[in-house]
């Protein structure tokens, strides 16, 4: 059986004869959404971490993202090939409205940054904490961006979607996404101690 290339690193590869995301969405039953979850849980979980800088909050956010998709399935028809841009958009909405505040609160509660996914090696932990601290700095700067730019940054720079996918997700022209990203980079450079936010 040939495997399709995943459309996003972190999304599970699926057989080329497997039903498309749109078909699964249209079926709308528990099994179909279970398959969508299997395809994109890892991608959404990683994106959720980049939106919150907290692995435990990322778990809650991932669950909430898929639950939102499930609850709204009857009123939506997926017209794109991939559900991922929309899932990322949902995660962004939820992160802003609820989960980022929760992550901040959780950190305050613990009085120090925590890495909720334990690693054995001390260097790994230290490196991870450093990443987490810097990610928080980035997120705080991103939060200060104008909304339109913040949306674009979350999808393109943090989510690593293409500008075309982000444009679809935001319902704007691709050129608008590009200019928002450009303006956002300029602002972020002024705010952050490092030069810029790079896409890996």
Residues engaged in binding other proteins (CB under 8 A): 9-10, 28, 30, 33-34, 37, 41-42, 45-46, 49-50, 59, 62-63, 66-68, 70-83, 85-86, 88-90, 92-94, 96-97, 117, 128, 131-132, 134-135, 138, 147-148, 151, 157-158, 160, 168-172, 192-200
- The Cα 25–Cα 127 span in angstroms is 39
Write down the least CB distance from residue 184 to other proteins, Å.
14
Evaluated on CA atoms 7, 12, 18, 23, the torsion sign reads: negative
Write down the least CB distance from residue 2 to other proteins, Å.
23
- By the 10 Å C-beta count (0-12 exposed, 13-18 middle, 19+ buried), 77 is classed as exposed
Q: Which is nearer to other proteins, 15 or 191 (CB)?
A: 191
Contacting residues for 1 by C-beta, under 8 A, at least 6 apart: 15, 17
Write down the least CB distance from residue 123 to other proteins, Å.
14
Q: Which is nearer to other proteins, 59 or 178 (CB)?
A: 59
The 10 Å Cβ neighbour count of residue 139 is 20
Write down the least CB distance from residue 103 to other proteins, Å.
14
């Amino acid at each position: 059986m040939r495997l399709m290339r995943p459309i996003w690193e972190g999304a599970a590869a699926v057989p080329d004869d497997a039903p498309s995301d749109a078909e699964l969405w249209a079926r709308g039953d528990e099994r179909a959404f279970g398959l969508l979850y299997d395809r994109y849980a890892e991608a959404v979980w990683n994106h959720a971490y980049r939106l919150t800088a907290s692995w435990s909050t990322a778990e809650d956010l991932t669950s909430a993202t898929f639950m939102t998709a499930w609850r709204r399935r009857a009123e939506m028809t997926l017209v794109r090939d991939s559900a991922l841009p929309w899932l990322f958009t949902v995660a962004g909405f939820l992160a802003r409205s609820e989960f980022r505040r929760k992550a901040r609160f959780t950190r305050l509660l613990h009085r120090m940054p925590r890495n909720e996914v334990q690693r054995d090696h001390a260097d790994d932990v230290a490196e991870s904490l450093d990443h987490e601290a810097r990610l928080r700095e980035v997120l705080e700067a991103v939060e200060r961006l104008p909304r339109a730019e913040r949306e674009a940054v979350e999808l393109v720079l943090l989510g690593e979607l293409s500008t075309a996918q982000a444009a679809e997700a935001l319902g704007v022209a691709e050129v608008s996404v590009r200019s928002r990203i450009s303006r956002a980079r300029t602002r972020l450079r002024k705010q952050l101690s490092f030069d810029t936010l790079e896409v890996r």
